[in-house]
Amino acid sequence: MMTLKIKYRGNFHSFAPSVLIEKANEWFELDTDSPYMLLVSEIKKVKD
């Protein structure tokens, strides 16, 4: 509601998680840094 009334944006915004650089390869299939969140990466599969 606030984004619609104050910032004149729609209700939906994409989600960009923040992860410590030291932990990034535990969560994502990413082989390079992305300090400005410009890249899209697959999430690693959970091991059974």
Domain positions in the chain are 14-48
Residue 40, token pair as written in the block: 């899209």
pLDDT in tens, 2-30: 666 776 766 666 667 788 889 888 989 98
Quick one: pLDDT at residue 1?
A: 62
The contacts of residue 19 (CB under 8 Å, 6+ apart) are 27, 28
pLDDT at position 36: 82
The number of residues making up the chain comes to: 48
Could you tell me the pTM of the whole model?
A: 0.53
| Cβ count within 10 A of residue 8 | 7
> How does 14-35 read in b/e, with b if 16+ C-beta sit within 10 Å?
eeeeeeeeeeeeeebebeeeee
Determine the pLDDT at residue 13: 66
